[in-house]
Amino acid sequence: MADPVVFVSYSHQDQGALSAFLSALDATGIERDLVWSDRDIDAGERWSERIDAAIDSAQVAVVLVSPAALASAFIRDKELPPLLTATERPSGALALLCLHLSTSDASEIPVRFFHPRDGRVREALLTDFQGLNDPQHPLDTLAEPIRVEVLARAAETVARLARSRTARFDLNQTTTPVSAANDAAARLARVLARPEVRAQAVSFSDQFDAARQRIARVADLKDLHDLLHTARIRCFEPIESELATMLDPELTGEAVWEASLELVDTADAMVEWLARDAVEAADRVWITQFNKAAHRLQREVEQLADRRRLPSMRVLGQVLRTRLPAVNQRLLAAASQLPLDPLTASLDRIAASLAGVEAGGVGDLEASRARLSAVTEQLTAVSLEHDRWQQLDLQITVGGLEDMLDAEPEEAADFWDSLGMNDLVDLCCTDPNDRAHAAVRQRAELLQAALRSGDTRKAPALLRRLRTRVAVHFYKVDVHLRRVCDELRALAGPIDGLLAWLKE
């Protein structure tokens, strides 16, 4: 029996999903003994040694991600660390892929592993690695026909990678591995020498060079958006909340001081951001204004006995209310203009020209196609979600509802309707099984009921709770968009390598 090339990590609570995935792999025609799971351990064998040996020989690993898998101490401590270490091997690095079975905390649970080059302990998230499907739409959320199609595509990707990383390309081969590899190299050389393939490679290179600048702009704007969001969620709003309650002056002073320190660090990072290419002339003005106000606030917190009077808070609040949505709009506009679909189409044409050719570069091409396609799909979905939650967040924070409650509480219910709040909540809270969506919807309904009944005592508190819940979930959406932007940025390295291979 040959050494396995594909290692599958899964929780025993997900046996059904494993069977479905293995069946999908079988349908690709890949040899069964190239794929390994712990089902292949025979009675009486030392299972720990078998797993270590399978990981050592694997070139591709697939992690079936679910809450059960992440809760498994064995998977978390015994399987994932050596798999992550293998992804950093100096030669023959493991390709780690994630198949998301159900909604999980994969984006929040770091895995510690030893880096093979320096021996240091590092941390990584499973969402840092290529997903075979969208983690925001895992398999158990899909209708059966779509789930089958997603599984089939995932299996095809794994099979292509596996074949490209082993000498056993032809399932019916009668030649030796050496002669097969030589034949494959010869076929590849003939294909790459064809003028139309060279032209396709040059065209793709030009497209990617143009896209690279736009990708960098999206990533830079996302960095600025993150800094503004951090300033608001982690600094400005906590200070506002502490000053509004002032239950214990000493404790309030400490909390405000700590938040002001983080605000200064964030404002300084925004000044450093001004060295980026995405800067507009107006950015220098308001970022400088914000930075000065943050440093001034820190002095006010130190010097003023009555910390309810912090004049710089007004300037900071004005900048955050106006610039956060403005930067968000620039970010989404830049993301919508990325030519990712044409890039994917160019790779598809090159792949079609290389059909039937087996070589390492073909596997890299398939991996690049899969990553680019996945990023394109995720960017479209998360940009739309981000825009909707941004609108809801802005209407709650700066739409004027709080001022209306203070000035004309009897008109607040009609004002809620005029803002289109119910429609916004419906647009954002689309998943009845998502606890965060359900919590936002519930708080919105409670607030609306209080507004309709004229309960001016409960309404302000309910508005604050709704604002907090929306802000927390919007921050999670924001983190998801950050990961997609990081994945976009990370595409440059593999695609540069692919272009060098195509042109050599």
pLDDT digits (tens, 9 = 90+) for 388-437: 888 888 788 767 787 788 788 888 888 888 888 889 999 899 888 888 89
Q: Which of 296-300, 383-387, 428-432 has the lowest mean pLDDT?
A: 383-387
Q: For residues 284 and 50, what is the distance between their CA atoms, to the nearest angstrom?
A: 59
Q: What is the dihedral of CA 238, 241, 247, 253, to 10 degrees?
A: 40
- Give me the residue label for tokens 């909707």: 388
Higher per-residue pLDDT: 7 or 469: 7
Higher per-residue pLDDT: 277 or 15: 15
Closest CA to 435 of 68, 137, 103: 103
**Chain segment 451-477, per-residue pLDDT in tens:** 888 888 888 888 888 888 887 788 788
**pLDDT for 181:** 36
Assess whether pLDDT exceeds 90 at residue 64: yes
Query: By percentage, how much of the chain surpasses pLDDT 70?
Result: 79
Grade residue 309 by pLDDT with cuts at 50, 70 and 90.
low
User: Structure tokens of 139?
Assistant: 């398999």
Q: Where are the chain's structural domains?
A: 6-166, 172-358, 369-504
**pLDDT for 316:** 92
Is residue 445 within 8 Å of residue 398, measured between CB atoms?
A: no
Assess whether pLDDT exceeds 90 at residue 117: no
In sequence order, the 6+-apart residues with CB closer than 8 A to the CB of 157 are 97, 132, 366, 367, 370
Closest CA to 334 of 474, 215, 223: 215
**pLDDT for 364:** 56
Assess whether pLDDT exceeds 80 at residue 154: yes
Q: What is the mean pLDDT of residues 244-265?
A: 77
Higher per-residue pLDDT: 410 or 245: 410
Grade residue 288 by pLDDT with cuts at 50, 70 and 90.
very high
**pLDDT for 170:** 36
DSSP string for 273-327: HTTSTT--HHHHHHHHHHHHHHHHHHHHHHH-S-TT--THHHHHHHHHHHHHHHH
**pLDDT for 252:** 64
Higher per-residue pLDDT: 356 or 485: 485
Q: What is the mean pLDDT of residues 359-368?
A: 58
Q: What are phi and psi of 114, to 5 degrees?
A: -90, 130
Assess whether pLDDT exceeds 60 at residue 173: no
Higher per-residue pLDDT: 311 or 500: 311
Grade residue 81 by pLDDT with cuts at 50, 70 and 90.
confident
Q: For residues 468 and 465, what is the distance between their CA atoms, to the nearest angstrom?
A: 5
Bridge pairing between strands 95-100 and 60-65: parallel
Q: For residues 38 and 72, what is the distance between their CA atoms, to the nearest angstrom?
A: 15
**pLDDT for 178:** 36
At the topology level, CATH places domain 369-504 in Four Helix Bundle (Hemerythrin (Met), subunit A) (1.20.120)
Assess whether pLDDT exceeds 70 at residue 185: no
**pLDDT for 91:** 62
Architecture of the structural domain at 6-166:
3-Layer(aba) Sandwich (3.40)
**Chain segment 339-357, per-residue pLDDT in tens:** 777 777 777 777 776 665 5
Q: For residues 81 and 79, what is the distance between their CA atoms, to the nearest angstrom?
A: 6
What is the CA 38 to chain-centroid distance, rounded? 30
Q: What is the mean pLDDT of residues 287-299?
A: 92
**Chain segment 124-152, per-residue pLDDT in tens:** 888 888 888 888 888 988 888 788 888 98
Is residue 139 within 8 Å of residue 18, measured between CB atoms?
A: no
Average pLDDT score over the chain: 79
Q: What is the mean pLDDT of residues 44-64?
A: 82
Query: By percentage, how much of the chain surpasses pLDDT 90?
Result: 13
Assess whether pLDDT exceeds 60 at residue 115: yes
Assess whether pLDDT exceeds 70 at residue 359: no
**pLDDT for 217:** 84
Grade residue 177 by pLDDT with cuts at 50, 70 and 90.
very low
